[in-house]
A and B are shown apart, each in its own frame.
Chain A
Amino acid sequence: GAVVSQHPSWVICKSGTSVKIECRSLDFQATTMFWYRQFPKQSLMLMATSNEGSKATYEQGVEKDKFLINHASLTLSTLTVTSAHPEDSSFYICSADEQYFGPGTRLTVT
């Protein structure tokens, strides 16, 4: 079946720094990739939708200048959390074509 990977699986960073999370579709080309965040014991909240070669579409309330999404190819999308703060600490999950989910990235900002 289709496999989506995320790197890193967990990361700890200091407040004010930036962190890049990669999402790759390993054995197929994904036209669209989705980025979600999940707080403890809560559901997934869609942050943005990205199509290869075009600008991402952000959900209401998500700061596009803080959460930079790049979808450079049909197999790679990146999410960069800029100037991270402790409240950005969360579990970030990507999805390719809405059915195939990555294993998630646990971000902790200290």
Chain B
Amino acid sequence: AQSVAQPEDQVNVAEGNPLTVKCTYSVSGNPYLFWYVQYPNRGLQFLLKYITGDNLVKGSYGFEAEFNKSQTSFHLKKPSALVSDSALYFCAVYGGATNKLIFGTGTLLAVQP
């Protein structure tokens, strides 16, 4: 079955430090992987996606993610966190037999000044 796991409910990082938000997936066939960010009481904003090609994907606001097929992971990263990056981050996968976008449970990123 198609699924996405975000093992951390919350990630805390100091401003200026690198950040990583973890995501692993399970899907038959080639996955399409997405990251979205959600600010309080707002809809989702697209950050980046992996469809095919280079395993390192660069997205909006300085974020990037690395597709690792052997580890079935698609972790979100940023070299230097900003306080304004504090938000809820969702990983999602599309593919397999269901042809639906399945979301992870979300990870709250808190960047301390």
Contact = CB atoms under 8 A, between A and B. Distances in A.
A93 B101 contact: no
Contacts of B105: 42-43
A75 interface: no
Interface centre among A42, A44, A93, A100 (most CB of B within 10 A): A44
Contact of A93 (B43, B100, B106): B43
Nearest to B104: A43
A34 interface: yes
Contacts of A41: 106
B103 A99 contact: no
- B contact face: mostly helix, strand, loop, or mixed: strand
B50 to A, nearest CB: 13
A5 to B, nearest CB: 10
Given A42-B105, A46-B100, A101 B44 contact: yes
Interface residues of A, number: 19
Contact size range, B: 10 to 19
Contacts of A100: 46
Contacts of B90: 43-44
A12 B65 CA distance: 39
B46 A98 contact: no
A100 B49 CA distance: 12
A41 B36 CA distance: 15
Interface in B54-113: 90, 94, 100-101, 103-106
Interface of B: 34, 36, 41-46, 49, 90, 94, 100-101, 103-106
